[in-house]
Structure 1
C-alpha cells in the first residue's frame, strides 16, 4: 500500500520486505529506488526533490561529469566536509578530473574513462597517493549519484585505485629526540616541540591550543579545535579531525615546565607590544598574538633546529610518529597510544606503527624465555 512522503513521491513496502521510493523526475518519467527501510525511502524522496529544485535531475540524461561534480560539491558535499577537504576536492575536480573526463556524460562514464584518467595523472608525475585521493572523491560522489538514481552503478567499484607503496616512516629515536629538545631549549617555540614529542598531537591541534584549554595546575589539557591557514580563506578554526580526536591529555613534567617558561615569555612580549597585541588566548602565536603559520614554523624554526642538531630533515608530523613509536617501544599499551593520538580505532594505530611490532615481539619472546627458563631451573 502506497504512502505519501513529505513532498512529491510515493513510498511503499515490497513483498520481499524492502522499500520502494517512486518519484516523477520530469517528462512523465518515474524513478524507482529500492532501500532497506521506510526512513531511507523518505530520505531518498527528499534528496531527489532537492535535486529537482536545483535542475540536476531533470537534466540527468544529458548532464556531464563536470556538471554533476560541481553541483554535488557545492550543494551536497560542502556542508559535510571540513574546509581543508573542501578546498582539496575543489582543486582535484577543477585541475584533474574535469580536464580529463568532464565532458563525458555521467550515465556513460565507464571504468575505461577512469583508468585513462588515473594513468594520465600518473604519467604527468602525480604521486599514486594523490591519484588515489581522486579515486576516493569520485567514489564518494558517484555513491550519491547511485543513491539518487542518476546512475545504475558506481563505476569506481569496477576500478582498482593506484597501489600506494608503503613509504619508510622517519622517526627520531630516544637519543635523537632528547638531543633535539636540548637544542630547542632557547627557541621561542621550545614548548611546541616538547608537546609534539610528549603528546603526539597533530600540528593543527597544537597551534589551536588556548591557555583556557589547560587545567589550573597545568597537568592536563583539552584538545578541542584545530587551526590552519587554508588558501584564500585565511586562518580557519575547525573541529578536531574525528570524534576521538576530542580528548584530554595528561602532561609530563618537562611539558609543564616548558609551558610555564613559554607563558612568562609570552607575557613579556605582550607587555612590550601594548595596544598592538591581539588577545585571542592562543598558546602559540606570533609577536602580535595572532595564529602561527605552519610554513613559517618549518622555515624559520623547525628546519634550522634540525640542521643545528645534525638530525634528518623530517616533517613536523614525524614528531607525532616519533612520539607514538617511543611509547610503543616503552611497552605502553597500544590502546593508550590510540587514545593519546586521537586515532578513531586501535586498528589504525597498529597499522600505522606496524614497524614497531617486530621489535615488540622479540622483546616478548625474550621475556618468555626468561620466565620459563627461571621456572625450569626451579624444579
Structure 2
C-alpha cells in the first residue's frame, strides 16, 4: 500500500507555491524474511506524478516478487523463473530440457548463493569442471540457460545490475572423432543379430518389438523420441515411407506427452529400404500375435507402433536400459540408442551419400550441423576424393 506526502513545504497552502516535492512510500512483505519492508522515492513535482510512479513500482513488486539488490537466492529465483516465466512461453519439450538442466546441474552448485554473490571467476571454474564431465555442446546448453535467466534478472526484473557470467569461455572439443559414438557396420550387424537370439528369462519371448525398433532407428536415423511417438498411421508400406511429425516426451516423475519435433526441419518424411519395410510388416503381425499369446499383454488403443505390455507408450529409460543390456550380451561398446542415429549418418556418408541428403534425412536444422557433427567422416571422404582426383590426373 502506497502513501504520499509533500516534503519540505513551507507555505502550507492547498496549492503549494514554494516548490516542495512529493514522495511516495510503499510497504510490502519481503518474501525472503517474511518481514515488512518499506520503499520510498521523492522528487516528484506533483502528487499525480508520485502516484503514477508508485503504481508502477507496486506492479513490479507484486509481479516479480524477487528480493532487490541481488539478495534473491538462486534456488528461489530459478524455481520461479522456470515455472512462471518459462513454462507458459516455451514448448513443453524445451521446458523439460531447461528444467532438467537447472535441477541436475545448476542448482546443485549454486542454489545457496544469492544472485549478487555469483562471481565471474568462480563461475568460469565451474564451467571448466563441467567440461571434464560433459561435451562442449552440453556445457553450452547449461550455460545458455543460466545466462538467460541472469539476463532476465538484469533487464526484466532489475534485481541485479549486470550479468556476471557474460563472455564466459567454454573450452572447445579438440577430439571430436573420439567423442562421436557409433557402431561400425560390422558392430551394428552383431547388435541386431543379438536381438534375434531367444532369451530364456524374457517375459515376452516371442515379441520382436525391440528388434523392429532398433532396426528402424539404425536404418532411418530417427531419434528415440520420434520413434516411440510413431503410430501405424505414420507407416506407409506401399510407398515405403514413414512420417515423422511428433516426438514423445517422458519427463521424470510425470506423465508422457506428445510434442512437436525438435525443430522445423525435424518434421519430415523418410524413405525406407525394402528390408526395413519387411521388418515393420512382420512387427505389425507379431504385435497382434503377442497380444493373443500372453493374457496380460494388451493391445494399444492409440495405434502405437512400439508400446508397453499395458498398451501405453514405451518408456525411454526402459528402452535405454534394454539397449545397454544387448550391448553387453553382444560384447559391444556400451552405447545409447542415440548411437544408432550417428551410425546411420556415418554409414550413409561412407557409402557416398550426399551430405545435404543426409542432413535432410536426419532432420538437422542445417547442413552445417551435419558437417560439424560428422567432421571426421566428411574429412575422410574429401581426402579420398582428392586422392582419386590425383590418381586420375596423373594418368
Same fold (TM over 0.5): yes
Which ranges of structure 2 fall in alignment gaps of 5 or more residues? Answer: 1-25, 27-38, 44-55, 198-207
Q: Which moved more, 1:291-300 or 1:326-335?
A: 291-300
3-state SS of paired residue (1:289): coil
Task: State how far apart, in whole Å, the 2-side matches of 1:29 and 1:353 are.
Answer: 62
Distance 1:213 1:29, change over 3 A: farther
Distance 1:144 1:344 in 2: 27
Say if 2:373 is the partner of 1:352: yes
Distance in 2, matches of 1:98 and 1:127, equals 20
Instruction: Tell me: CA distance 1:137–1:97, structure 2 relative to 1, closer, same or farther (3 Å).
Output: farther
What residue is the counterpart of 2:99 in the other structure? 87
**Does 2:111 correspond to 1:98?**
yes
Counterpart Cα distance in 1 of 2:280 and 2:364:
25
State how far apart, in whole Å, the 1-side matches of 2:379 and 2:209 are: 38
* 1:115 positional shift: 3.5
Find the aligned partners of 1:118 and 1:126 in 2 and give their Cα distance. Answer: 10
Cα drift, residue 362 of structure 1 = 2.4
When normalised by structure 1's length, the TM-score is: 0.75
Give, in whole Å, the separation in 2 of the partners of 1:329 and 1:344.
Answer: 21
The aligned counterpart of 2:85 is 76
Alignment of 1:285-324 (within 5 A): 285-300=307-322, 302-324=323-345
Quote the offset at 1:322 in angstroms. 0.7
SS in 2 for 1:237: strand
Mapped contact 2:265–2:360 kept (Cα < 8 A): yes
Larger helix proportion, structure 1 or 2? Answer: 1
1:137 has 2:145 as partner: yes
Which whole-Å CA distance do the structure 2 matches of 1:308 and 1:127 have between them?
27
| Aligned-partner Cα distance in 2 for 1:161–1:179 | 38
- Cα gap change, 1:68 to 1:274, in 2 (>3 Å): closer
1:61 counterpart = 2:61: no
Higher-Rg member (1/2): 2
Q: Deviations over 1:184-228 (max 9, x none)?
A: 346431111211111111111111111111126261111122224
**Structure 1, gaps ≥5 residues long:** 1-24, 31-46, 375-379
Tell me: CA distance 1:337–1:113, structure 2 relative to 1, closer, same or farther (3 Å). same
2:166 maps to 157
- Cα offset for 1:166? 4.1
Give the Cα separation in 2 of the matches to 1:365 and 1:52: 66
Counterpart position of 1:247: 268
Which residue number corresponds to residue 266 of structure 1?
287
Provide the C-alpha distance between the structure 1 equivalents of 2:297 and 2:212, rounded to a whole number of angstroms: 26
1:50/1:318 Cα in 2 relative to 1: closer, same or farther (>3 Å)?
A: farther
Give the C-alpha shift of residue 240 in structure 1.
Answer: 1.3
Match status 1:180 vs 2:191: yes
2:110 and 2:249 mapped to 1: Cα distance?
Answer: 26
Q: What's the TM-score once normalised by structure 2's chain length? A: 0.72
1:10 maps to which residue?
A: none
Please list the CA deviations of residues 107-145 of structure 1 after superposition, one character each: whole Å capped at 9, or x if unmatched. x644135236546x659x854756554422221112333
Q: Which stretch of structure 1 is more off in the superposition, 200-209 or 61-70?
A: 61-70
CA 48–263 in structure 1, closer or farther in 2 if over 3 Å, else same? farther
1:288-323 CA distances to partner (integer Å, 9 max, x unpaired)?
A: 2221123323434x3343344343222211111111
Partner residue of 2:219 out of 176, 182, 198: 198
Contact 2:296–2:310 at 8 Å: present in 1 too? no
Name the SS of the counterpart of 1:340 in structure 2: helix
- The structure-2 alpha-carbon separation of the partners of 1:140 and 1:219, relative to structure 1 and needing over 3 Å to count, comes to same
User: How far apart in 2 are the matches of 1:62 and 1:313?
Assistant: 45
